[in-house]
Amino acid sequence: MRALNPSRNVEMTTIHASSYEAGALHTSGHVVLNFDELPVDLSRKHVIIVDDVGDSLLTLLAIKQQFKSQSIAYMSLDFLVGCYKRGAATETVRHAVEPLLNFIGFDNVDPKLYLIGFGMDGDLSGSNRALYRGWRFIGYIDRS
């Protein structure tokens, strides 16, 4: 996002999407979407959705379904870290999402490694909850 050219008429917004409950290690199967200033009309626009960790792919599927009724010119679903090939993604979800996957930063990450840093820290509790979230790099805690 830092490298986007501001003269190119780019709009950016955030969607908070989660299928994990606080402190949970596995998806609940239910996705909660919260939109922050989402443009009302996305028709004929190019939309890039970037998720932090792709494990169950449920958040990307929910976002795809949310925008299904709009005539989007192009949609790309991307994530920074991919572990869905070993993770909780069902065959049905993979079939619905994989054709739209465009970019995976780090692919096939071992699901036993809990990622921390760069905004990720959900497995921690108490005063440690936000300890690693602000790191400008990605590390891991081995859960095995």
pLDDT tens-digit readout, 76-130: 888 887 766 655 667 777 778 888 888 888 776 776 777 787 777 655 555 566 6
| Residues 98 and 72: beta-carbon distance below 8 Å | no
pLDDT per position as a tens digit, 54-74:
777 888 888 888 888 888 898
Rounded CA gap, 26 and 121, in Å? 14
- Any idea where the domains of the chain sit in the sequence? 6-110, 112-144
pTM for the model: 0.68
CATH of 6-110, one of 3.40.1080.10, 3.10.580.10, 3.30.70.920, 3.40.50.2020: 3.40.50.2020
